[in-house]
Structure 1
Amino acid sequence: MTIIELTNKHLNKISLELSKGTYEHYKSHYQHFINYCKANDIIKAEDITEENLSRYIREMKNKCSNRTINMRIGNLQRCFKTFGIRFEYLESLPKLKQRLITYDFIDLPDIRRMRSYFYALPETEENLFQVATFLILMETGCRRSELLNIQKNNIDFKNNMIIFTTTKTDEDRMVPFKEKTATILWKLYNQKHDHKFLLHNPLKNRPINKDDLEYMMRKYKSIFGLNKLHAHMFRHSFATHFIEAGADRKTVQSMTGHRDAKSLDRYVHVRRDFVLKTYHDKFILD
């Protein structure tokens, strides 16, 4: 089997089982490996040797972070394992040491400032649409793809819950929202009865898409004077603040939809200022 056939076979499997984002992730990394193989006349899977794989890793070290190298080698390991192809050297490769990654997130004072601003806006169709978008991001920690695919029948107003059905794990997830947000979502819900999706762009007369979301992030980044603002910052902020408020990993996992609660150890960083505050407030010796 050629390397292109093997990776395409794995991509087809991924497209059926995992999210579009995961598919694109694998596709991009496989293309990098395919380009290397083409440049070195490596055609078939059995042509991959310890020597040329080691050279591939050495070349990546000149241009890529250890994290990227780990992802690319990990993808190859999963591909070979999926189709029962034994390659002991590939299987034995350890992960390279990665530096601790910190994530962009929004401090609670800024979150509260944003919420106060949103609550004070006039209730026009455009404002309701944009305010609802931000409140859902703040209160549920959902992924961008989950936000864009919320349908009206996914909202349980009786219990103030959103049911996310287009999740990365393919398992429905129920997440609560605040009473004040329920009022805004109810008004948005009843604006147009012929729309399938909750978040409908009134200016374009279509469901929200990623371009709308990016536009809103740019707009409100400027309004609030923030250095950065993107949708995933709200997800990380949700997890960070929830854990800092005392929630355990399992509870946060059930809300965010991570496959493994341990992944939150990597995803949620504990801030130095919070550590110091906890030390002085909780660790009392006298």
Structure 2
Amino acid sequence: MKWEDSKKGFENFLRLEKSLSQNSIAAYVNDINKLMVFLEGNFKKLAPEKVKLNHLRSFVEHLNDRGVSPRTQARTISGIKSFFKYLLIEGKIQGDPTTLLESPKIGRKLPDVLTMEEIDTIIDAVDLEKPEGQRNKAMLETLYSCGLRVSELVNLKVTNLFFEQGFVKVEGKSEKERLVPVSEKAVVEINKYLNGYRKTLRISPESENVLFLNRRGKKLSRVMIFTIIKNLAQKVGMDKKISPHTFRHSFATHLISGGADLRAVQEMLGHESILTTEIYTHLDRDYLKSTISQFHPRS
């Protein structure tokens, strides 16, 4: 069995059976490529079905020696485990060599959060004198108002805006759709953009239904969103590490701080597991204290 054939089959499995996004598939394949390069350099002509636990442990030691963080190691090991489980399902191997492969212990990292004042400071720093200024303001308002992932923001469609009902339809991970409430302020800024800057663009046929466009009339890249936010943070002298995801973290934390139901926040964020949403409760100790005081029978 050849590595390239196995990888190709794994890709198809992730796409068709698991319905993963292209970004997720690329990350999994990258993990397998790392393992493949290591095995080729240290264990000549070792086919996938010949890989044993000792080979995989050597690979993990190699990652550790290179100074790869425990979090990255854990993610890479998870990808490799998925690959060998796929081979087992397909009958390509007789046993799973990753069964006893341990991942490094990692704590849950609490995300950086912006205050409402900091959110406003960054959005107010957008230069509306520039042609793309209104677009950028509308994007940031939408990012925060709806708690979107950056991939969801760049893929937002004009036909998925239901402003009269107060919702936008979002295409999340694994192409799962959800309805998210949108604030009146975001609606105002989006409409200004739609009736202004966007109308001046020469829109590419494949991007006609994409909401936020670059100056060439095409869909914005994820990197561009990161760059816009980074430049604004530098402009206002904010020393926190800020990314598009910071707006999503802030959205969730502000909701929970205000007393929002955890299940409702889970639904709005598009989290499959409530455990992922629960991390935001750790960011507001006062909220936890008040909840216990109000509902615990011993209080």
TM-score by length of 1: 0.84
Task: Give the aligned partner of residue 107 of structure 1.
Answer: 115
Instruction: Please identify, of 176-185 and 206-215, the stretch whose mean Cα deviation from structure 2 is larger.
Output: 206-215
Of residues 87-96 and 33-42 in structure 1, the stretch that sits farther from structure 2 once superposed is 87-96
Report the AA paired with residue 47 of structure 2: K
Aligned residue number for residue 140 of structure 2 = 134
Give the deviation of 1:123 after TM superposition.
Answer: 7.9
Q: What's the counterpart of residue 285 of structure 2?
A: 275
Q: Of 260, 267, 272, which aligns to 1:254?
A: 267
One-letter identity of the residue aligned with 1:41 = K
Once the two structures are aligned, what percentage of the paired residues are identical? Answer: 22
Change (3 A) 1:21 1:104: farther
2:239 is the alignment partner of 1:223: no
| Superposition deviation, residue 102 in structure 1 | 2.8
- Pairwise CA distance, 1:44: 1.2
User: Which residue, 32, 35, 41 being the options, matches 2:34?
Assistant: 32
Partner of residue 224, structure 2: 212
**Residue of 187, 193, 215 corresponding to 1:182:** 187
Indicate the larger mover: 184-193 or 127-136: 184-193
Question: Does the 8 A contact of 1:80 with 1:86 survive in 2?
Answer: no
| C-alpha distance in structure 1 between counterparts of 2:218 and 2:246, whole Å | 25
Q: CA RMSD in A?
A: 2.9
Deviation at 1:7, TM superposition (A): 2.5
Q: How many Å separate the matches in 2 of 1:45 and 1:151?
A: 42
Q: Secondary structure at the match of 1:153?
A: helix
| Aligned with 1:59 (options 47, 59, 62) | 62
Pair 1:34–1:156, CA change in 2 (3 A) = same
One-letter identity of the residue aligned with 1:26: Y
Which deviates more from structure 2 when the two are superposed, residues 19-28 or residues 244-253? 244-253
1:18 aligns with 2:30: no
Counterpart check, 1:245 vs 2:258: yes
Tell whether the 8 Å contact from 2:281 to 2:287 is kept in structure 1 after alignment. Answer: no
**How many residues align structurally?**
279
Q: Which runs of 5+ in 2 are unaligned?
A: none
- What pairs up with 1:186-201 in 2 under 5 angstroms? 186-191=191-196, 192=198, 195-201=208-214
Aligned-pair distance for 1:100?
3.1
How far residue 129 of structure 1 moved from its aligned partner, in angstroms, is 0.6
Distance 1:189 1:258 in 2: 30
Residue 88 (structure 1) shift: 4.6
In structure 1, what is the equivalent of residue 160 of structure 2? 154
1:157-168 pair list within 5 angstroms: 157-165=163-171, 167-168=172-173
For 1:212 and 1:15, locate their aligned partners in 2 and report how far apart those are by CA, in whole Å: 26
For residues 212-253 of structure 1, the C-alpha deviation after alignment (integer angstroms, 9 at most, x for no partner) is 323321331123221233211111222222222222332112
**TM value normalised by structure 2:** 0.81
Distance 1:70 1:186, change over 3 A: same
Q: Is the 8 A contact 2:170 2:179 kept in 1?
A: yes
Structure 1 gaps, min length 5:
none
Take 2:113 and 2:72, find their aligned partners in 1: how far apart are those partners? Answer: 22
Q: Which amino acid aligns with 2:84?
A: F
| 8 A contact 2:122–2:233 mirrored in 1 | no
